[in-house]
Amino acid sequence: MEQGNDMKSLSQCRQRTISLQSPLGKIQVSGCENGVHTIQILMDVPPAERSGDTSLSCVVTVSNGQEEMGPELQHCVEWLRAYFSEPWTVGRLPLPVFHHPTLHGDSFTSRVLQTLVRDVKVGETVSYKRLAEMAGNPRAVRAVGGAMRRNPVPLLIPCHRVISSSGQSGMYMGGKGNHLKQWLLTHEMVKEED
């Protein structure tokens, strides 16, 4: 994850928030000229069903104007569009720059989120226990769960790919978004059409 500017500048950011209509419903993306701050999935509608003839897209529905969106928010929108229409392609795309204090520094949460985004690819899952091991502290399974709850940019940092050791999908968005987690995992299993 790119460090960007000093985190002191976070309080001085001129943030913009855009809304996207996605297969999961409305998503709000907040960011500034330095990067993406947060992504919120509002859960205003049930997730879209995928069928062979249905294109899943992501459309900007509210913004301060495309020109004023800024390059990092625009990059995030493009990444999300690719993810929802052709999830297998995002592994080849660079992630937007993150500009949130949770994602910078040397905290265990930051290390877990960095490990997750770097090492767990589209269509893969990892257990909380295995992710703790990968992040350098095999006994910190509960802390990994806490890191997933504090993830400010779900979808970009794929906390939905973290499951229990038993293979159960586990909680998502404090248990309110479990159906979305299942939708995302299923969505990522769709392979490129030949």
Among all residues, which ones are annotated catalytic?
Answer: 159
Paired with 22 in beta bridges are 25
| 38 and 153 Cβ atoms separated by less than 8 Å | yes
Helices and strands: H and E segment counts in the chain: 5, 6
Quick one: tokens of 16?
């913009």
Q: Which of 24, 31, 95 lies closest to 57 in space, CA to CA? A: 24
**Distance (Å, whole) CA 183 – CA 177:** 10
Instruction: List the Cα angle 31/153/173 in 5-degree steps.
Output: 135
| 99 and 36 Cβ atoms separated by less than 8 Å | yes
| 27 and 42 Cβ atoms separated by less than 8 Å | yes
Enclosing H/E stretch for 162: strand 162-163
